[in-house]
A and B are shown apart, each in its own frame.
Chain A
Amino acid sequence: MTLVLEAAVLGILTGGVYALMASGLTLIFGVMRIINVGHGALVVLGAYLSFAASRALHIDPFVTLVITMPVMFLLGFGLQVVFIRPLKTDREALSVLVTYAIALGLEGILGYVFGANYVQLQAWYDTASFPIGDFRITYVYVFGFVLCLAILVVLFLILYRTTFGASIRATMLNRTAAQLIGIDVDRVSAVAFGIGMATAAAGGVVFGITTAFNPGSHYDLISRLLTIIVLGGLGSLRGAVIAALIMLVSEDITSVVISPVWASFVFFVILIVVLLVRPQGLYGVRVRERI
């Protein structure tokens, strides 16, 4: 029983990290209707930027976010303007190709700069833990979870308490209608892409402390992140959070109780059942296309 409880707590804590990583992906889809399959590579880029900054400046990996989040925001803004904005027709299909090309390009650049060997961010708290009842909780997961919570709260506040957030939500609801009422959807899209990349930087730092990674680590990441936003409902921030928690808790409990071999299977059973009942995902919106 202790082991199950421990796995559940671990699932919630790591689920928060995945929620943060997936939030940028779902936001980008919501605003631009593009599937950013390069998002995993952007998380890995964030981890590498934190790795480089913490080594060069001898600062804590979490402190590097002061540098990496603005840098990633600007980079995201630029990527959207250069690569995504020119896509005027068939955006969803073409965006897969374009963002995959971005991922491969980033993988190549990171491999050239940092090499192919696995690296990991180091901090005093990555092996430190404190007892709760019969088990121990690791500080890094708690810190990561608190960071994710804080950033997700800020993201919710931006979306639901600011005028710009209203512009984002309007663009998510109906891009054409948003344009008609005077919203600069190109600017909204570029900023949303930048925000998505800034959250990738934040997710990347926790990922980089808890996991050894190399430039090729994005393949595993993106498959998990895409699954999360499909379960949560494409474009739904709340859905991404809930789906990430469901994924990690179900996988971790299955892993300790039954076997790691069945961990992904159990999650996919949940995914299929949810999609049978709600094809749009947990919090997705049903869209009817005119043909």
Chain B
Amino acid sequence: MRTSLRGALLSVLAMVIAACGSTAPTAPAAPITIGVSVSQSGDFSGDGKALVQGYDLWAQDENAKGGLLGHKITMKYVDDTSSTQQVVSNYEGLITRDKVALVFGPFSSLLTIPASTVVARYGYAFPEPAGGGPHVFDRGLTNIFFVQPAAVEDNLVSYTKWLTGLSADQRPTSVAYATQDDPFTQPQVDKAKSLLEAAGIKTAYYRVYPAETTDFTPIALNVVHSQADAVILGTQLPDAVAFAKTFIQQHYNPKTLIETTGPDQGADFSNKLGTNTEGIMVPAGWTANAKAYGNDKFVSEFIAKYGGTAADISADAAEAYSVGQVVDEAATKANSIENAKLISSLHSGTYQTIQGPMAFDSSGKPQGGVGVYIEQWQNGAAIFVYPSSVAAAQPEYPKKPWS
């Protein structure tokens, strides 16, 4: 009797469990940590800070919607001091010691190249926001995914198309080039030079200077003395500002001036040049007023979280945020956050980001995307001016005199 009573109770319990089965909450997926080596000191510390902002904002958004395939995310950052040695040991440590589930990329091609080798050794996917130099992709690695609209050497292609598309009486006849010997800046400038020379625009001056240069004035003086109609500079923020200041001091106002990095840094750039930012151009895959997927939300959330205005947002932060978007879509597509499945997933299909749609070839180069636009400072804000399909205004040409 006792046995049958116990059997009946168990049967009832089993029926209750079975009845509740369809609505009982499933155990949440385990939280994960995503590791990133960022430059919190050294030459790239400004960019490193922007990457952290972008990554953190993406993680916040992701957690708010339940996590990456249900896995709540914690971001772990370690400082690489902008050093190519430190970045390697950082990723080694994140993967082997901290056992992070995923890793995202650091700032610059300089750091991405050594980092990607060690990350590949452990079979991790390496989506990265800022390493797009040619050497990033020519080492036979299949785990890299450069989340920007175009490979670095193509960054100035839009600009050259715009220049060569000007009417003959407006087109510049000579160009002065100066660039850091950096894997991010020099390939862009070199490709622009070859395209413009092929179009018959002569080179008035060309110089490559060491990345560790601190006094840019002598190089800028050479550019001034060339009196070229157009100036194309392969810069980071400090030299972008220094060149412009020397041009102002020397009363040299080229018809057009484009710098590879610096003018895209929002208030960090305009704080140093004031109204003299007017007319300066920069190749850019992202701008605060672009109508790309999720961009409005990104901009408003960024301002809510970090303060400032849309003009203060660095493109670095947008690129970092895009890395997260791509990974989220790839994980959903693969229904997994395993690195091997993510790598396989990322090599096919198109991913929507705040920089526009992205796709990757077998080496991780962006393919068939929207390309890089031209942004120009006009009336205190950097806006897209080319191509016309995305332009918020006509390019200001020739550039207005310095104020």
Contacts and interface: CB of A to CB of B under 8 A. Distances in A.
Contacts of B381: none
Nearest to A224: B214
Contacts of A162: none
Given A120-B272, A138-B249, A261-B208, A7 B218 contact: yes
Of listed B212, B214, B215, B222, residue having the most chain A CB within 10 A: B215
Given A115-B49, A261-B208, A3 B221 contact: yes
Contacts of A255: 209, 218-219, 222
B251 interface: yes
B46 A214 contact: yes
Given A129-B249, A136-B250, A120 B210 contact: no
Interface residues of A, number: 43
Contacts of A259: 207-209
B contacts with A: majority SS: helix
Interface size class for chain B? 35 or more
A251 B43 CA distance: 22
Nearest to B49: A116
A115 to B, nearest CB: 7
B396 interface: no
Contacts of B350: none
Nearest to B273: A127
B101 interface: no
B210 A264 contact: yes
Contacts of A213: 238
B110 to A, nearest CB: 15
Nearest to B241: A212
Interface string A210-244: 01111110011100100000000000000000000
A216 B207 contact: no
Nearest to B222: A256
A211 B219 contact: no
B221 A216 contact: no
Given A220-B212, A251-B215, A7 B221 contact: yes
Given A116-B49, A117-B46, A216-B43, 7 more contacts: A111-B45, A117-B268, A118-B272, A120-B272, A211-B215, A211-B242, A259-B207
23 contacts: A3-B225, A7-B221, A10-B221, A116-B41, A116-B46, A117-B45, A119-B271, A122-B272, A127-B249, A214-B45, A214-B46, A216-B43, A216-B81, A219-B42, A220-B212, A221-B214, A255-B209, A256-B219, A260-B209, A260-B213, A260-B218, A261-B209, A261-B210
Interface of B: 40-43, 45-46, 48-49, 81-82, 181, 207-210, 212-215, 217-219, 221-222, 225, 237-238, 241-242, 245, 248-251, 268, 271-272, 274, 276, 402
Interface of A: 2-3, 6-7, 10, 14, 107-108, 111, 115-120, 122, 126-129, 135-136, 138, 211-216, 219-221, 224, 248, 251-252, 255-256, 259-261, 263-264
